Amino acid sequence: MVIENFVRISREEVAKAIDVVNRITDYYYQKMVGQRDLGTALLITLITNGHILIESVPGLAKTTAAKTMTEAVNGKFSRIQCTPDLLPSDIVGTQILNYTNNTFETKLGPVHANFVLLDEINRSSAKTQSAMLEVMQEHQTTIGGQIYPVPDIFMVIATQNPIEQEGTYLLSEAQLDRFFMKCVIDYPSADEELTIINRVEQDVFADVHSVVTLDDIRFLQGLVKRVYVDDSVKQYIIRLVEATRHPDKYISKDLAQYVTIGASIRGSICLMEAAKAVALLSARDYATPDDVKSQIHEVLRHRVSLNFAAVADGITEDKIIDAIMGAIPTP
């Protein structure tokens, strides 16, 4: 079968990609202990030029993981601590009056960087959260009617605390949908925690240096677009996402009753892009259904909305996704 407009990825390109990936992951795991799923999710998001939301209780190294991953790349990094009194202009920028010449000058905000860490995003108000909608989707900000693009490599890493905690605000569905992935992390094991304590004692976090360049990341991002996805895999992705929208047709009514909103078209696109990234990380130039399954929870869990009954009954988005995967035949 002839595949139109598909340029095969050479062995040399795959070897270079794996070398870049290994340099990033080696640096990451020199400082991070455990949290393998989070490391993979951050790497996939970086390769696909997407955005990631990380959720856990305070103190589980969400911020450290984000900073460590971005330290590995020689790019511009900025950190925004989200608080209830944070204003949209504190993020995107504003116009300031220059009294010497009586004109307004534009001061760009910290969002104009390669890597933007939004720490505890759900502690900011809905108005401030909405300031990120345009920049996350369009890769630009609008200040005083003027458009200012962000860098071509642009990744938002947002952390949030569980919504049950004091002083948090729900992210809107529109905001959540702009995140490529959502990763939920838990406490480390006793052995992992001992290793963490030892590394802190040895001050391993003091050594900060870049191991790859922005051009290396551009290479990965260009290469992942050339990973082949067969029509049968695309149809599989569509069926999975479709099942989140009409769960009563695919899973038991006992579970389907908890779902209020399913995944958008963006969910299908992100699931395909994630599968491509997994394939490239596995040194392949084609994606498989297993690549799709490996990241389906991270890609869809924040795009499936459940009702209050689900919270009361202890039903999670992951449980719904597991039921859908069991109901949809794998090609």
- pLDDT of residue 6 exceeding 70: no
Q: What is the pLDDT of residues 236-264, one digit of tens each?
A: 999 999 999 999 999 999 999 999 999 99
Q: Is 10 among the domain residues? A: no
Same domain for 272 and 197: no
Same domain for 237 and 198: no
Instruction: CATH number of the domain at 29, please.
Output: 3.40.50.300
Structurally, the chain folds into a number of domains equal to: 2
Same domain for 156 and 99: yes
Task: List Cα–Cα distances, 143 to 146, 148, 149, 288, in angstroms.
Answer: 5, 8, 11, 43
Instruction: CATH number of the domain at 260, please.
Output: 1.10.8.80
Tally helices (H) and strands (E) across the chain. Answer: 16, 11
pLDDT band at 1 (very low <50, low <70, confident <90, very high): very low
pTM of the predicted structure, to 2 decimals: 0.90
Q: How far apart are CA 124 and CA 160, in angstroms?
A: 10
Q: What is the pLDDT of residues 151-208, one digit of tens each?
A: 999 999 999 887 656 667 788 888 899 999 999 988 888 998 898 888 887 877 667 7
Q: How far apart are CA 274 and CA 126, in angstroms?
A: 29
Note the pLDDT of residue 167: 67
Same domain for 179 and 71: yes
Task: List Cα–Cα distances, 252 to 239, 264, 318, in angstroms.
Answer: 16, 22, 15
Domain span including residue 297: 227-331
